Structure formats: structure tokens, C-alpha cells
A and B are shown apart, each in its own frame.
Chain A
């Protein structure tokens, strides 16, 4: 019997600028989480926003991306202290990511994501968090503040 899923867990529109947004106490009810961010930063400088799981600020995230804009394309891989959920400026940008098997305890967690910015370009990425723990919190942050009006939506997908 098919089961309705892709359930909205939270939907937030910032009323004022904020440096971080945390979704905590995420239940293990679902298998995947999808996040959607639409908005901008308060700075004109291109800034990588950060996504961390369970408060982990260690160098436990390896991420690879392919990026393209009007000037060309590039790819890089690196070990970091966060997922790379978004790159943004003070122009509208958006991100759509899947945190696969977030509630599993037998594997590292992989995030597949795509981003686009009005003038910054487009990007696809994969990130692996080297931890088998179930994810119970998502912490989105930036050094330049998310602007008022930026939206964060997260959904749960059952399996």
C-alpha cells in the first residue's frame, strides 16, 4: 500500500537577519531529509554557508563539487568542518539538498545538493559526513548573516 510522504517538518521565513538557523530534535521517523533554502545574505561577497550535523564542528565532512558560471567551470574536493549547502551573496540564490539515510546508523551520511545564484553560477555537490550516528540536528550558519525573508524548509521522506 503506497504511503504518503515528503512530509513538511519545518518551514521558516526569517523576520530579521540571522547568523544561524538550527533544527533540532529531528525524529528518526523518516529515511531521508530534503532541505530547500531560498534567499540571500546581507553581504555582496560570495560566501559559503555551512551545514553541520549534530553539532559536529570537526573536520569530518568531505565534499566534492562541480561549479560553472559565465567564466568557465571547475571541480574540487576537500575535507572541511561542514557540509557546503549553499553559496550566496546579497542576490537571490537557492539550494535543494537531500540528506540520504539520515536516520540510519550503519553508514556515513551523504548529502546530494544543487545550488544556483542569480549572478554567481550553478553548482552540484556531494558531501560525506564520516559518522554513522543518526542525524538529530541541522545547523545552517554563515559569517555574513542570512537576510530577512530567507526561507528554510525541511521535509521528511519515509522508506
Chain B
């Protein structure tokens, strides 16, 4: 048995080598809200290669899909695939309609916050379509763990990312953080 107290690390400022993975912005909702938008991303185009969203969220009304859209595009310019386990079966498929990228359901049950980590790869490239991958889990209602992929068929550099529930709000306390990864 080995034990390692870490409090001293905190006191020393944790010490690690940092600078390649950086927090850009966090929203922790103080009231119910339908959407969170990270805008002005062009500011970071010359700084970062990839982006990551880490979110812990809960909905207000009915279990519902969570989605992201890029640069405000609401056209049928996306594709999303999923591989899931729901506690009894494993399955896969493609989402429709294709006007958004799907990043899993979110719960409405108290304390059963949905967790999602979304990677947006080569976010600021202007020569390739943008691809997204996500790992999502909700334990309770519903029970599901899911690996997702998404594509936006547009070579534009990202300027904004919106995260939303499909048809109703996120609750107070839901948290959305955006990170940049240098290339």
C-alpha cells in the first residue's frame, strides 16, 4: 500500500510544466439557459491547433439530445456517428437530421449531471473539413456511455462554437469549459 499526500503540491503551485493546454473560457450557469456560445475564436487561430470542451450539464425538461454547431451554420452540412452501450446492448448508428453534431443526451434528474469531453481537431485549418470526437456518459436516467464522431463539411477556420440542448434548457450549475491545445 502506497500513499501520496498532494496538499504540499498545491501550496507549491503544483509545479508542473504547462503552456500547451490552456483554459480559454468557462461558463457555469447561474440561471437556466438554452445555449452556451464560445465566440470570437478567431482570436485564437494563430495560437492553438485543437480545442477541447469539457462539460458537466443537466437539463430542465425531458431527456434530450445535446448538440453543437460551428460558425452558426444551421444547414445540412454535418454528419454524426455513434457507438453506445446502454447497460444491456451495444449499438451504433448515424444521426439525422444532419444540421448539427450530436454529443449525447442529457439527463434532468437531480445530481445526475451528464459529462462530455469533446475534442475539435485542427479547429483553425482552412484546408480541411472540421472533425469532432466526443466521449459522453450519463449514469442514471438514462444509462448510457457513448463514443461519438462528427464532421462539419466546411473548410472554414472556426470562429464560434455553440452548445445547446435540442429543445429546452440547461439548468443552473451546468458547466462548460473551452480549452486550447497548442500545435
Contact = CB atoms under 8 A, between A and B. Distances in A.
A57 interface: no
A111 B117 CA distance: 11
Interface string A61-78: 011111110000111110
A119 interface: no
A interface residue count range (under 10 / 10 to 19 / 20 to 34 / 35 or more): 35 or more
Contacts of B147: 124
Contact of A128 (B9, B83, B140, B173): B140
Interface in A34-89: 62-68, 73-77
A16 to B, nearest CB: 10
A101 B145 contact: no
A101 B54 CA distance: 10
Interface in A2-34: 2-10, 12, 14, 18-27, 29, 31-32
A21 B1 CA distance: 6
B137 A112 contact: yes
Given A7-B15, A101-B113, A104-B56, 19 more contacts: A2-B44, A2-B47, A4-B23, A7-B14, A9-B14, A10-B6, A24-B4, A25-B8, A27-B10, A64-B143, A64-B144, A68-B90, A75-B85, A77-B143, A98-B115, A107-B58, A110-B56, A155-B16, A158-B23
Nearest to A63: B139
Interface stretch (B70-78, B93-101, B120-128, B174-182): B174-182
A118 interface: no
B173 A124 contact: no
Interface of A: 2-10, 12, 14, 18-27, 29, 31-32, 62-68, 73-77, 98, 100-101, 104, 106-108, 110-112, 114, 124-128, 130, 132, 155-159
Interface in B87-109: 87-90
Contacts of B137: 64, 110, 112, 125-127
Contact of A107 (B16, B17, B173): B173
Given A3-B22, A18-B1, A29-B14, A10 B139 contact: no
Nearest to A157: B54
Nearest to B173: A106
Nearest to A2: B22
A12 B4 contact: yes
B111 interface: yes
A126 B115 contact: yes
> Which secondary structure dominates where chain A touches chain B?
strand
A99 to B, nearest CB: 9
Contacts of A5: 18, 21-23, 179
Given A8-B17, A127-B139, A159 B85 contact: no
A24 to B, nearest CB: 5
Nearest to B54: A32
B30 to A, nearest CB: 12
B24 interface: yes
Contacts of A125: 137, 145
Interface in B1-49: 1-10, 14-24, 26, 28, 44, 47
B144 A3 contact: no
